[in-house]
């Protein structure tokens, strides 16, 4: 009888000890666990790319180079300014398409020297050209933007543009003897002020451009080079007249904020 009581008492003591030991074991805090962590239907957060339109005002410096093999067109560099507005259609994954309308005014000067027809000395006849050019530019560019840091972006672009000539006045000053001037007129080389666009130059200049720049928030600094693709000399004849106009620019633009 005493042995049975002893065994019963021993069992109760073991039960109390096991229960106390179990209470001392630390249990995981399931209340702070993210119950969506193992949710197979949860999708990772993706970058947000939205379609939209950006409006920019642009102004900067422009340089045009007239490359020619025609006597009446001396090799010429024109310097000036460009100003206008552009419209950028924002596409997903950092791409965008830009078009717009820009006005450019440039001027430059050059000289042509001709050996005298009346003397055997080194005397030369001189024709001075002072050119003032007005153009409208309609670009169609594909842009790619690379985010760098905060609101700082690096971008590149390429694409064609249509350069429409409005007027190009050549203010000619001649320092010629009469025989030399008569010979130049006979060759079809202008010796008086005239409008090249109305005389012997095409107005439509098709170019292909490459460039890039930096962007911070609403502000953008960019530069690019445009390659002339078509022959601007008119008329095209057996003398293989040739003229192309290439260009380089650097400009600053401001994006007009729009309400979302």
Query: Does the pLDDT at position 30 exceed 80?
Result: no
Residue 38 lies in a domain: no
Tokens of 218: 């609403």
State how many domains the chain has: 1
The answer to whether 82 and 62 have CB atoms below 8 angstroms apart is: yes
pLDDT, tens digit, for every residue of 135-183? Answer: 999 999 999 999 999 889 999 999 999 999 999 999 988 888 777 778 8
Mean pLDDT of the chain: 81
- In degrees and rounded to multiples of 5, residue 199 shows phi and psi of -100, -70
pTM of structure = 0.74
> What's 233's DSSP letter?
B
Q: Could you tell me the two tokens for 107?
A: 């001027």
**Residue 134 located in a structural domain:** yes
- The reply to whether 200 falls in a domain is yes
Per-residue DSSP letters for 141-154?
A: EEEEEEEEETTEEE
* Position 159 in a domain: yes
Instruction: Provide the CATH number for the domain around residue 100.
Output: 2.40.160.20
Domain ranges, residue 249: 52-109+130-169+194-256
Tell me, yes or no, whether 181 lies in a domain.
Answer: no
> Given this model, what pLDDT does residue 181 score?
78
With respect to residue 76, please indicate whether it lies within any of the assigned structural domains. yes
pLDDT tens digit sequence for 1-24 = 555 555 555 565 556 555 555 555
The pLDDT tens digits for 44-95 are 444 455 788 999 999 999 999 988 876 556 678 999 999 999 999 999 888 9
Residue 96 has pLDDT above 90, yes or no: yes
Residue 1 within a domain: no
Strand partners, 173: 128
Is residue 27 in some structural domain? no
Residue identified by tokens 């939205």 is 50
């Amino acid at each position: 009888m005493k042995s049975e009581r002893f065994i019963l008492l021993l069992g109760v003591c073991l039960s109390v000890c096991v229960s106390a030991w179990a209470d001392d074991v630390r249990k995981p805090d399931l209340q702070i666990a993210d119950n969506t962590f193992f949710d197979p239907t949860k999708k990772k957060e993706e970058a947000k790319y939205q379609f939209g339109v950006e409006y920019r005002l642009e102004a900067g410096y422009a340089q045009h180079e007239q490359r020619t093999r025609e006597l009446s067109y001396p090799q010429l560099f024109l310097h000036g300014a460009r100003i206008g507005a552009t419209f950028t259609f924002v596409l997903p994954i950092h791409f965008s398409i830009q078009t717009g309308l820009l006005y450019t005014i440039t001027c430059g000067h050059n000289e042509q020297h001709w050996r005298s027809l009346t003397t055997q000395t080194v005397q030369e006849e001189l024709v001075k050209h002072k050119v003032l050019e007005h153009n409208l530019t309609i670009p169609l560019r594909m842009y790619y933007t690379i985010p760098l840091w905060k609101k700082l972006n690096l971008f590149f672009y390429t694409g064609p543009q249509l350069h429409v000539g409005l007027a190009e006045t050549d203010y000619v000053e001649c320092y010629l003897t009469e025989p030399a001037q008569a010979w130049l007129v006979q060759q079809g080389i202008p010796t008086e002020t005239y409008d090249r666009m109305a005389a012997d130059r095409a107005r439509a200049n098709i170019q292909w451009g490459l460039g890039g720049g930096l962007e911070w928030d609403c502000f953008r600094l960019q530069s690019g080079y445009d390659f002339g693709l078509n022959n601007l000399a008119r008329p095209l004849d057996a003398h293989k007249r040739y003229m192309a106009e290439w260009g380089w620019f650097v400009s600053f633009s401001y994006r007009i904020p729009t309400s979302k």
